[in-house]
Amino acid sequence: MSDNTISLSRWLIEQERTYGHIPGSLRLLIEQVARACKRISRAVNKGASTGILGSAGSENVQGEVQKQLDVIANDVLLEANEWGGHLAAMASEELERIHVIPHRYPRGEYLLMFDPLDGSSNIEVNVTIGTIFSVLHLADGVSEVGPEHFLQAGRQQVAAGYCTYGPQTSLVLTLGHGVSVFTLDSEQGSFVLTQSSLRIPALTQEFSINMSNMRHWAAPVRRYIDECLAGQDGPRGKNFNMRWVGSMVADVHRVLQRGGVFLYPWDKREPERAGKLRLLYEANPMAFLVEQAGGMAIAGTERILDIQPETLHQRAAVILGSNEEVALLQRYHREAS
Ligand code: AHM
Ligand code: MG
């Protein structure tokens, strides 16, 4: 590390000084999450050499088969964040119930939510996966923490971020004052600031959706994608490119860096389900980051961050990215409703 690099720890302290309302306990909580991500990154990097690829032989609360790395990542996050004194409870995509901080540790004022290993179908094929997290404040005066305390609209998040485990390990973070990107210097073992005040490019011609579900989409999504596919000769008057990694962290990271739109919309396969992705562990943190980077995030007509959660593992439709594209999709949804 050269002298002018800014480590995550230094950056957090400087943020605390600049924005007096970022409390020290939130700073320490973020450092703890980052430490857990470094451990997960190491486990992911070792891959098959340590025999930890493959199924764990169990299912999570959503009925999805858990991979060994899903379980390891979940345990690392629980263990790393339990004792610090900053949290009251945690909720994970992999756990049916919330994890209340045991009485032997001091209880803090925050709630942490995470998808420990997003994109786990990509683990075996050595494609980028990641951890997504979100932090809420526990309402004042609560003595017994319950799942209902996690049911806050996404606009109330005090921090959110994700870590990608790919060619580089990147931590992308917002505390509500813009988005910063940190890259793991694996020799030093620390995250260093590599981008400040990230802005999603406004002019863009790239979309990201699982095209194999096309026949199941609702009319507004179909209309938007049809117009993109029509290219230069169609109503958009330009050619579009398509990318789908199948790991939300990787697809959203690309959208944040070079613009475009990411969609996992409602579809007819399971009409009673709002979408595939989880509101608290995936949609809300990504929506917070995207809005902080100057983009938009909607579920159809509604802003994701305004959805009032009703259950812990609730799903949401997700459409996010560059303003112009998401605004057009919102208009198509409004016209259809
Ligand atoms: P996971 O959290 O169990 O990995 O599932 C979420 C993932 C997202 O990362 C990704 O955008 C989506 O599922 C891909 O779904 P599909 O395989 O239907 O394209
Ligand atoms: Mg996920």
Q: 210: Cβ–Cβ under 8 A, 6 or more apart, which residues?
A: 244, 246, 264
Over 70: is that where the pLDDT of 2 sits?
A: no
Ligand in closest contact with the CA of 62: 1
Atom of ligand 1 nearest to the CA of 122: 4
Q: Would you say residue 62 has pLDDT above 90?
A: no
With a cut of 70, say whether residue 80 has pLDDT above it: yes
CATH architecture entry for 206-336: 3-Layer(aba) Sandwich (3.40)
Q: Find out whether 243 and 254 touch, Cβ atoms under 8 Å.
A: yes
**296: three-class secondary structure by DSSP:** strand
Q: How far is the C-alpha of 277 from the C-alpha of 294, rounded, in Å? A: 22
Check residues 259 and 69 and name the one with the higher pLDDT.
259
What mean pLDDT comes out for the span 24-45? 95
pLDDT in tens, 217-247: 999 999 999 999 999 999 999 999 999 999 9
Return the residue whose CA atom lies nearest to atom 14 of ligand 1: 246
8-195 CATH choice from 3.30.870.10, 3.30.460.80, 3.30.2310.20, 3.30.540.10: 3.30.540.10
**pLDDT score of 1:** 53
Q: Where are the domains of the chain?
A: 8-195, 206-336
**143 C-alpha vs ligand 2 centroid, how far in Å?**
31
pLDDT confidence of residue 22: 82
Ligand 2 centre distance from Cα of residue 39 (Å): 19
pLDDT confidence of residue 328: 97
170-193 pLDDT, tens digit per residue, is 999 999 999 999 999 989 999 999
DSSP 313: T
State the average pLDDT over residues 69-95.
95
Written as six digits, the tokens of 269 are 């396969």
Reported residue count of the chain is 337
> Looking at ligand 1, which atom is closest to the CA of residue 121?
4
* pLDDT, mean over the chain: 94
- Binding site membership of 115 for ligand 1 (Cβ less than 6 Å): yes
More confident of the two residues 52 and 89: 89
Instruction: Identify which of 117, 121, 278 to mutate to test ligand 1's pocket (most ligand atoms within 8 A of the CB).
Output: 121
Determine the residue type at 168.
Q
Q: How far is the centre of ligand 2, averaged over its atoms, from the C-alpha of 287 (Å)?
A: 14
Q: Shortest CA distance to 72 belongs to which of 43, 113, 93, 98? A: 43
Q: Are 92 and 114 in contact (CB under 8 A)?
A: yes
- For residues 24 and 16, the answer to whether their CB atoms sit within 8 Å is yes
**Is it the case that residue 23 has pLDDT exceeding 90?**
no
Q: What's the pLDDT band for 67 if we cut at 50, 70, 90? A: confident
- Per-residue pLDDT, averaged over 136-151, amounts to 95
Nearest to 221 by CA among 236, 207, 238: 207
Residue nearest to atom 16 of ligand 1 (CA): 246
Confirm or reject: Cβ of 248 under 6 Å from ligand 1. yes
Ligand 1 contacts CB of residue 246 (under 6 A): yes
pTM score: 0.96
Question: CA-based angle 55:57:62, to the nearest 5?
Answer: 90
Across the range 204-210, mean pLDDT stands at: 96
pLDDT band at 333 (very low <50, low <70, confident <90, very high): very high
Residue type, 141: G
Of the candidates 92, 81, 77, 88, the residue with the CA atom closest to the CA atom of residue 39: 77
Structure tokens at 25: 């306990």
The structure tokens 């075996």 sit at: 124
Question: Given this model, what pLDDT does residue 137 score?
Answer: 97
Burial letters 303-334, b for 16+ CB under 10 A, else e: bbbebebeebbbbbbbbbbbbebbebbbebbe
Mean pLDDT of 198-216: 95
- What is the pLDDT confidence band of residue 203, given thresholds at 50, 70 and 90? confident
For residue 19, name the pLDDT band (cuts at 50, 70, 90): confident
DSSP 102: P
CB under 8 A, 24+ apart: contacts of 13-16: 15/175, 15/177
pLDDT class for 21, splitting at 50, 70, 90? Answer: confident
Summarize pLDDT for 273-292 with one digit per residue, the tens.
Answer: 999 999 999 999 999 999 99
- Label residue 287 exposed, middle or buried (CB < 10 Å: 0-12, 13-18, 19+): buried
Burial class (CB in 10 A: 0-12, 13-18, 19+), 93: buried
Cα separation of 130 and 116, whole Å?
A: 7
